[in-house]
């Protein structure tokens, strides 16, 4: 992925996440529920895969 492609993906991802957060705040969704809704929305808009070697064990 080039730096330009990375910047474009970052901008698009930021817009999608912001849109979903605004929607959830608008319906007074509790903060602790937002990660699930954001993740679902990201999967609706992007092809997402975990990079080889990525370790999520310490994320909580």
pLDDT in tens, 2-60: 999 999 999 999 999 999 999 999 999 999 999 999 999 999 999 999 999 999 999 87
Q: How many CA atoms lie within 13 A of 11 on its CB side?
A: 6
pLDDT confidence tier of residue 1, bands split at 50, 70 and 90: confident
29, 46 Cβ separation under 8 angstroms: no
Can you give the pTM of this predicted structure? 0.81
């Amino acid at each position: 992925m080039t730096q330009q492609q990375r910047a474009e993906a970052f901008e698009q991802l930021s817009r999608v996440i912001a849109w979903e957060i605004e929607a959830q705040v608008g319906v007074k969704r509790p903060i602790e529920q937002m990660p699930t809704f954001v993740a679902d929305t990201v999967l609706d808009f992007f092809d997402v895969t975990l990079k080889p070697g990525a370790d999520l064990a310490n994320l909580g």
